[in-house]
Structure 1
Amino acid sequence: MVEDLKDAPMEWPQVLYLRLTAQYDRLGAGRGNTNRAEDVLGWEHQVYFFVGRPHPDYSASVTVYPQPEFGAADWAVTPFDTGGMLKGHIATHEELDETERASIIERWTRRDITYAAEKDEWIDSAFKSRGGYVRSETPTSHVVPEVDLEHNSDHSWTWEGRLPSVAYAIRCAGYSLLKEETSDHFACRIRRRTHGF
């Protein structure tokens, strides 16, 4: 059973499940940075995932979705971790305040399928092979000129996708909330429920 772990760290399947089902009050104090970033950016609560990075350092499973259709959901993609950018964890060539960082996020957010060609073009130019992105090799350039690659981790260049949590919570309505299942089952059940979303 998933307890209300206010101060204890959670495994990613638990965090994902609670965000998917809009149970933000159960995320605990350590997840406040994400909520604060969403407030600053004027977003609803989001569910975040890395685009095209089925890498073992990121998770123990891979979820494959069909390419989203424009207008199917209020989805968006950015060429970096948005929370890391807003909080200053992604180094930029010049020191930027929170407002300037929010502006970069907005400027580089893609809400239609154009992100796919942009991402593919960047991967082809920044890595020796297409597999370099998946294997976490250091790219030779960043699609966002403000980002200082020399002083960053791969969160600065791994593309992030996001969907409003509310859309998933509505999609999950009518199902058991998995209160008595182990965290290993969260990813499988969520994957099944949201397949094709």
Structure 2
Amino acid sequence: MGKGQPKPTKPPPTKAKAAKAAGKTPAKKAAPKEPEGKVVSDNRKARFRFEIVETLECGVQLLGSEVKSLRDGKLSLDEAYARVKDGDVWLVGADIAEYKQATLWNHAPKRPRKLLMHAVEKIKFAGQAHEKGLTLVPLKVYFNARGIAKVLLGLCRGKKLHDKRETLKKNDARRDMDRAMRRR
């Protein structure tokens, strides 16, 4: 250090560090009660019909009555898929049942819903679907720990009939082994 340069100083210790140095444990704040993440719907048929190449978690733009209906668990993803239109990704065919208490301000059950994702993810994910001939399929809809509705979107390739049969055989064999292990 030169003569004209000031001596570096340490920032003052935080309350937690000061309490730790004094041998005290800092008081913990009570964490707000948040849901652990409730699964609304799981698309099990998609896992049988398609080979999942990659997955992506994205948000979904919903109306108030749709959120209330989702919290009741009234969602069907059987015929749902995602489509790229005008640079946006849309969830098509997902059936969210009407919320009875919404009466006049209810939603259309099968309306397309915009999926929320970063621009880079849109380009990468939707571009792969278009170039490689893959399908965007919603695998799961759930509420995260903060209570926000999320969609797990899969980039999928369709299975052939012999692949489906092979999957069934593997599942049967695994089930038989599990039964044999439990009997021991």
Same fold (TM over 0.5): no
TM range (shorter): under 0.3
Greater strand share, structure number: 2
Greater helix share, structure number: 1
Comparing both chains, which one has the higher relative contact order based on Cα–Cα distances under 8 Å and sequence gaps of 6 or more?
Answer: 1
Find the structure with the greater CA-based Rg.
2
Q: TM-score, normalised by structure 1?
A: 0.24
